[in-house]
Amino acid sequence: MAVLRERGQREVFCGLAGIVWLHRKIQDAFFLVVGSRTCAHLLQSAAGVMIFAEPRFATAILQDRDLAGMADCNEELDRVVHELLARRPDIGTLFLVGSCPSEVIKLDLDTAAERLTREQQGRVRILAYSGSGIETTFTQGEDTCLTALVPEMPAADDPALLVVGTLPDIVEDQFRRLFSAMGFDAIDAPVHFLPSRTAAELPPVGAATKVLAAQPFVGDTVAALVARGAELIEAPYPFGVEGTRAWLGAAAAAFDIPDVQVDAACAGPIARAERGLERYREQLAGKRISFLPDSQLELPLGRFLARECGMTLVEVGVPYLDRRMMDAELALLPTPERLSEGQDLEAQLDRLRADRPDLTVCGLGLANPLEAEGLTTKWSIELVFSPVHGFDQAPDLAELFARPLNRRARLAF
């Protein structure tokens, strides 16, 4: 499959956005962004938290004196952290999150985390990672966060399955039930998830650990786990019926669980998902769709929409193409008219205007201008925030794409 590689102006969301779903998942963690007022406004608006609430994230705002080198940023950071921990003794793990401003002034948060951890004498685990949006796409904020957790994971030699990538609790519970029904309990192979619901209970990792990625943007985390001896299971991602069945089947095959047991465990959920998908297939079949590069979900979502919903892929753009994480998806992806990596925004918009697809999946910054030009759009970030993995969520995933088409049809006059 030919890949159009582009390098130019990009339109992407900030990597700090990952905090919005990570702070909900890791219930004993606190995320302290070292950044500007813009960072604070982004988190406040993206997370939709009331100002009188007690969220588990905040921003240590760099002032003009900090940026000009007139103040000792490390002293100020230490003061803020001490005040925070005194006020919030429930914090088990504190993440110092780098931003564009903190990286521009070369503030070494890794060293700061080590210094503060020593001062706390084991009462609080303090880690650092980068959420900067200078050279990344917004979902990589989760990847850098999980990578920072890998060195903290205990070692283990027993066989286990480790599912990597943040999943909503309801989806994680569904997968746990499916893994149990498939026979993982019977072979004494526990199933762990990273991130876990509390950072205090990190899953173990070792040479007998097999890693199954639930999100396509956790490549650095997978590399860090492999460096600790784990083995990656190559599989499509659990979007739609086909992807979820293949994902579960790959996990079962890695542990020598017979395929007949997988079929038995999946029969009921697959039947429910197929019934739910019927109405949306009628609305989506034959419609043309383009993906602008934003979330790294573009390939598995394109595969789902083309193979299970009958949509035609015009352009599938990805921020970067990680072959190790995407080979199984590329093998299933119906050939789009165009597969692109990276972005040259103006050139891509020119192609989009010429293609005039029925639906365009793009970032927040492009959606309204494209709607003003008469194009129907879907926010890519909504696909990251919403529970869309697994059999039971397949109809909900299809509905997310049908909804803007229905809105356009109702507004047409």
Q: Report pLDDT for 67.
A: 59
- SS3 call for 323: helix
Distance CA 384, CA 295 (A): 8
Q: Report pLDDT for 71.
A: 60
Q: Report pLDDT for 203.
A: 97
Task: List where CATH 3.40.50.1980 sits in the chain.
Answer: 15-136, 160-260, 265-411
**Among residues 380, 388, 404, 130, which one has the least CA distance to residue 287?**
404
Tokens coding 107 = 């503030």
**Among residues 395, 390, 394, 398, which one has the least CA distance to residue 170?**
390
pTM reported for the whole predicted model: 0.93
Known binding residues are 14, 39, 100
Q: Which amino acid is at 322?
A: D
Distance CA 358, CA 128 (A): 43
Cα separation values, 73 from 1, 61, 94, 99, 253, Å: 49, 10, 18, 14, 52
Q: Report pLDDT for 181.
A: 97
Do 200 and 223 form a contact (C-beta atoms < 8 A)?
no
pLDDT in tens, 303-357: 999 999 999 999 999 999 999 999 999 999 999 999 999 999 999 999 999 999 9
Query: Distance of alpha carbon 167 from its chain centroid, rounded?
Result: 9
pLDDT at 51 over 60: no
Q: What is the DSSP letter of 102?
A: H
In order, the DSSP letters of 344-398 are -HHHHHHHHHHH--SEEEE-HHHHHHHHHTT--EEEHHHHHHS---SSTTHHHHH
Known binding residues for [4Fe-4S] cluster are 14, 39, 100
Mean pLDDT of the chain: 92
Q: How many CA atoms lie within 13 A of 380 on its CB side?
A: 31
Which residues lie closer than 8 Å to 227 by C-beta, 6 or more apart?
none
Q: Dihedral angle at the C-alpha atoms of 325, 331, 332, 334, nearest 10 degrees?
A: 120
Q: Report pLDDT for 65.
A: 64
Average pLDDT over residues 140-148: 95
β-pairing verdict for 288-291 and 359-362: parallel
Cα separation values, 293 from 114, 127, 136, 275, 349, Å: 36, 30, 12, 31, 12
Distance CA 226, CA 223 (A): 5
Distance CA 177, CA 320 (A): 33
Place of tokens 């406004």: 41
CATH number belonging to domain 15-136:
3.40.50.1980
Do 329 and 299 form a contact (C-beta atoms < 8 A)?
yes
Tokens coding 39 = 């960072």
Where does the pLDDT of residue 54 fall: very low under 50, low under 70, confident under 90, or very high at 90 and above?
Answer: low
What's 160-260's CATH class?
alpha beta
What's 265-411's CATH class?
alpha beta
Does the N-terminal peptide bond of residue 195 adopt cis geometry, omega within 30 degrees of 0? yes
Triad 190, 195, 200: Cα angle to 5°: 85
Q: Report pLDDT for 105.
A: 82
Cβ-in-10-Å burial (0-12, 13-18, 19+) of 262 comes to buried
Q: Report pLDDT for 52.
A: 53
Distance CA 107, CA 128 (A): 11
pLDDT in tens, 206-232: 999 999 999 999 999 999 999 999 999
Tokens coding 177 = 């039930």
Cα(first)–Cα(last) distance of the chain, in Å?
A: 41
